[in-house]
Amino acid sequence: MSHEEAWLAKWRETMEFIEKKRRNPSKHRVEEHMLVNWVKHNRKLMNAGKLKETRQALFTKLLAREEEYRRKNQWE
């Protein structure tokens, strides 16, 4: 699996999580740490201007989706 395929797989996993759970991944749940860390890492790359253009469009879409659930109560 190439880096691009792995990145797309993680992007899909994160989008599916948000769609299914109707909330953002929580930093307080151990099983969701990988998603939180992936989003945080890519946000830092984007802010530094180091994220590839092809990835930036998809990641911007993910951030917009996350913004919809920004203040969503995480408790289920």
Residue 73 lies in a domain: no
Residue 51 lies in a domain: yes
Confidence band, pLDDT 50/70/90 cuts, at residue 70: confident
Residue 13 lies in a domain: no
Residue 16 lies in a domain: no
Residue 37 lies in a domain: yes
Find the domain containing 51 and state its range. 23-67
Q: Give the count of domains, the chain.
A: 1
Rg (CA), the chain: 12
pLDDT digits (tens, 9 = 90+) for 9-63: 999 999 999 999 999 999 999 999 999 999 999 999 999 999 999 999 999 999 9
Distances (CA, A) of 39 to 14, 69: 8, 15
Residue 33 lies in a domain: yes
Report the predicted TM-score, pTM, of the whole model to 2 decimal places. 0.89
pLDDT of residue 71: 75
Residue 8 lies in a domain: no
Half-sphere exposure of 1 (CA within 13 A, CB side): 8
Q: What is the largest CA-CA distance in the chain?
A: 36
pLDDT of residue 69: 87
Residue 14 lies in a domain: no
> What mean pLDDT do residues 52-75 have?
89
